[in-house]
């Protein structure tokens, strides 16, 4: 199953679109991906749904359908440890930033190391997933064992792009969403 998930991952693309102070990040929908159980497994829980950021209004949301309900999850501002470590990725000089993501699970809080390589030359503070607030575009991101890499950058200044804020779903904090998940797992476990 792991081999099939890795193969499916090679076929999965995400798209980060931004304009002015807003961005959205989501998986590019291909029919074969949405029908493949391995692709769904490879995308993982954090890759589902759409992420929305508005820096002017300090909003970072994730719109997702989970547990049979639509949710809009509010994320706090991300805390980063900026380092002086540098590496070149493609044509860009990137700097390393680190953090820790905490996830509430059945066994308590699970911590995942987060490493981001951002390019100050691309002075856009947008990011994949909920990882926001770096002084440059994230070119490479590792969250635990998940790795996201930029494979193409296209900047269009004259294109009319509309980025809509999510409005359909129950508004919850990240902590509340994690607690809902734990409660659902416990209820499911008790039914067996």
- The average pLDDT across 167-183 equals 89
Q: Provide the pLDDT confidence category of residue 38 given band limits of 50, 70 and 90.
A: very low
Task: Specify the pTM.
Answer: 0.76
DSSP annotation of 41 reads H
- At 127 the three-state DSSP class reads coil
CB 21 within 8 A of CB 55: yes
Tens digits of per-residue pLDDT, 104-145?
777 788 899 999 999 999 987 777 788 888 999 999 999 998
What pLDDT is attached to residue 30? 47
Average pLDDT over residues 16-45: 61
How far apart CA 117 and CA 63 sit, in angstroms, is: 25
Q: What is the pLDDT of residues 57-103, one digit of tens each?
A: 888 899 988 888 999 999 888 899 999 999 999 999 999 999 999 88
């Amino acid at each position: 199953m792991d081999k099939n998930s890795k193969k499916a991952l090679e076929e999965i693309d995400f798209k980060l679109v931004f304009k002015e102070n807003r961005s959205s990040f989501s998986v590019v929908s291909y029919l074969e991906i949405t029908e493949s159980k391995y692709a769904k497994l490879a995308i993982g829980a954090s890759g589902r749904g759409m992420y929305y950021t508005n820096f002017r209004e300090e909003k970072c949301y994730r719109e997702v359908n989970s547990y049979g309900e639509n949710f809009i999850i509010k994320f706090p501002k991300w805390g980063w440890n900026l380092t002086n470590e540098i590496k070149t990725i493609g044509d860009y000089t990137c700097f390393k930033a680190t953090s820790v993501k905490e996830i509430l699970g059945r066994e308590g809080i699970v911590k995942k190391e987060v490493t981001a390589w951002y390019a100050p030359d691309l002075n856009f503070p947008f990011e994949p997933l909920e990882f926001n607030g770096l002084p440059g575009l994230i070119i490479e991101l590792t969250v635990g064992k998940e790795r996201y890499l930029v494979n193409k950058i296209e900047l269009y200044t004259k294109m009319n792009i509309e980025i809509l804020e999510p409005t359909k779903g129950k508004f919850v904090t990240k902590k509340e969403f994690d607690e809902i998940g734990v409660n659902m797992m416990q209820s499911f476990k008790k039914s067996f």
